Amino acid sequence: MVPVMMAISGDLIAHVRFILSNALNNAISGNVARYGINAGARFAFSAYITAVASVEAFLNEELLGPVARMLFRDSSLWGIKCDKLEIQTKLIIVPQMLFGTTFDISAQPAQDFRLLVKVRNDLVHYKMQGSPPKYIADLSQRRIALTNDQVSTMGVDYLWPQKLSSTEGIRWAHNTACKVVHKLVEFIPEEYRGVLGVSAPNYQEIPRERIREWFDKQGGATDITDITDRPI
């Protein structure tokens, strides 16, 4: 009897979109801070965690699953205990050993994924520390983290977990996962893409313009201050 196989990576990345949808609906309620298209999002933390999980699930299903093992049965990869590897290491080793090519860790999307994993780790191991991680400044500059533009005059800004609780943070986590997955598919030889990487269509990026249009349809810019058109 042939066992029934079920992929879960698509459900995981869909859950990140579900979190974003709920956060956007809450953003127009007037109950959360909002700066342009970026708004407070209470349940954003789970999006960062789930986005990373979706990438690892995709890698495990498509490149470490039974189909890949059959197509590349002679690969020395199968002698490695990949389940023991951290996700970033696994992302480098698996495509290199299967296809002879892999991510450039000095370029995108590897850089953003490394940052996303740091965010995931800091949230999972959160100890109520007050000092913000160094990457918060970068995420704030990129308008991913929620940032009070009046902090210089008011002297009050959000705590770093609150900064990560943002709709743009959710969208960035989602899009970073999508970029990584599609880069993995690029590594797969074309003749095998019909049987490997079949879950990739679940990973479609959400452009900034789509969010802006959504807010426009809901009644336009009723936010605290519109920062989305300022140069970063």
Per-residue pLDDT tens over the stretch 44-103: 999 999 999 999 999 999 999 999 999 999 999 999 999 899 999 999 999 999 999 999
Question: What is the pTM assigned to this prediction?
Answer: 0.91
Q: Give mean pLDDT, residues 178-193.
A: 97
pLDDT in tens, 119-145: 999 999 999 887 999 999 999 999 999
Q: How far apart are CA 42 and CA 211, in angstroms?
A: 18
Q: Give mean pLDDT, residues 10-37.
A: 94
Burial label, 53 (beta-carbon count in 10 A; 0-12, 13-18, 19+)? buried
pLDDT in tens, 191-229: 999 999 999 999 999 999 999 999 999 875 445 444 333
Indicate the pLDDT class of residue 231, thresholds 50, 70 and 90: very low
Alpha helices in the chain (DSSP H): 9-27, 44-63, 66-71, 87-99, 110-124, 135-141, 151-154, 160-164, 167-187, 208-217
Which pair of structure tokens corresponds to residue 181?
Answer: 């997955």
Q: What is the pLDDT of residue 154?
A: 52
The candidate with the shortest Cα–Cα distance to 95, out of 68, 116, 70, is: 68
Greater confidence (231 vs 138) lies with: 138
Q: What is the pLDDT of residue 147?
A: 83
The candidate with the shortest Cα–Cα distance to 227, out of 135, 119, 140, is: 140
Count CB-CB contacts under 10 A for residue 87.
16
Indicate the pLDDT class of residue 5, thresholds 50, 70 and 90: low
Q: What is the pLDDT of residue 2?
A: 40
pLDDT in tens, 148-162: 765 544 556 789 999
The candidate with the shortest Cα–Cα distance to 123, out of 77, 70, 164, is: 164
Report CA 25 to chain centroid distance, whole Å: 20
Q: What is the pLDDT of residue 27?
A: 93
Q: What is the pLDDT of residue 171?
A: 98
Which pair of structure tokens corresponds to residue 197?
Answer: 């990487």
Indicate the pLDDT class of residue 178, thresholds 50, 70 and 90: very high
Q: How far apart are CA 144 and CA 148, in angstroms?
A: 12
Q: What is the pLDDT of residue 30?
A: 83
Half-sphere exposure of 114 (CA within 13 A, CB side): 12
Residue 173 predicted with pLDDT over 50: yes
